[in-house]
A = this chain, B = another copy of it.
C-alpha cells in the first residue's frame, strides 16, 4: 500500500458505518428497508388497518408475504397487533410509538427519491445510450 494517492481512511471515521457482515445495524436495515415493510409502515401512519385492508392497498403483495412482513414488524416492536375477540375475527395493525419515529425517517428517504427520480431516469437513459453507442 505504497500508493498514497488515495486518502487514508483514518481520520474521517468511515468506520462509524459498520461494514461487517454480522453487524446488527445491517440486519435491521435490511429488514426495514424491505420492499413490503416500507409500504406497511407508510400505510399505517396515522391509521390502523386490518389485514385485508392492507392487502388490498398494497398492490402485488401475497397473503404469505404480508403475513410474514407483519410478524417481523411486530417482533421488532414497530407494529402492534390487536385481536378483537369477535366472529368473524378482526385484527388491527397499527404503528407503535417506535414505529412512528421510523416513519419520519423513511419518509425523508422516499421524499429524496421522489425529488430525484427524474435525475435518476435521465442518468439511466444517458448510461444506456452511451452503452448502445459502444456496441455499434
Binding site for B on A (CB under 8 A): 1, 3, 6-9, 12, 14, 17, 19-21, 24-26, 28-30, 32-35, 38-39, 42-43, 45-50, 53, 57-60, 74-78, 92, 95, 98, 100-102, 105-110, 112-114, 116-117, 119-124, 126-128
Contact = CB atoms under 8 A, between A and B. Distances in A.
Contacts of A29: 33, 35, 38, 109-110, 113
A124 B75 contact: yes
Contact of A46 (B1, B30, B121): B1
A117 to B, nearest CB: 6
A77 B43 contact: no
Contact of A6 (B20, B49, B106): B49
Contact of A100 (B7, B12, B20): B7
29 contacts: A1-B46, A3-B47, A3-B48, A6-B47, A6-B95, A9-B46, A9-B47, A12-B46, A14-B46, A14-B57, A17-B39, A17-B43, A19-B39, A20-B60, A28-B117, A29-B35, A29-B109, A30-B35, A32-B113, A33-B33, A75-B124, A75-B127, A76-B124, A77-B126, A77-B127, A98-B120, A101-B116, A102-B116, A105-B112
Q: What is the count of identical protomers in the complex?
A: 2
Overall SS of chain A's interface: helix
